[in-house]
């Protein structure tokens, strides 16, 4: 159970970092996000 909670917390942290990076770097970061996958072998939702 603790591992599941940790995974959820890490996902929230990642989302916060992505929002911050998008504010700081703008369209250039958005283009980067469109090219790379967030997690191993999964597609980023559009």
Distance CA 43, CA 38 (A): 7
Question: Into how many domains does the chain fold?
Answer: 1
The per-residue pLDDT for range 7-39, each reduced to its tens digit, is 999 999 999 999 999 999 999 999 998 888 887
What are the structure tokens assigned to 45, written together?
């939702």
* 12 domain-assigned: yes
> Confidence class of residue 6 from pLDDT cuts 50, 70 and 90?
very high
Cβ atoms within 10 A of the Cβ of 33, count?
A: 14
Does the residue 42 lie in any domain? no
- Determine the structural domain holding residue 20 and report its residue range: 2-35
Query: Which one is predicted more confidently, 15 or 40?
Result: 15
Q: What angle do CA 13, 16, 18 make, to 5 degrees?
A: 110
pTM for this prediction: 0.69
pLDDT of residue 44: 58
């Amino acid at each position: 159970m603790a591992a599941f909670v940790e995974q959820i917390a890490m996902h929230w942290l990642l989302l916060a970092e992505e929002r911050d990076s998008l504010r700081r770097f703008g369209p250039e970061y958005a283009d980067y996000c469109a090219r790379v996958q967030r997690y191993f072998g999964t597609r980023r939702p559009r």
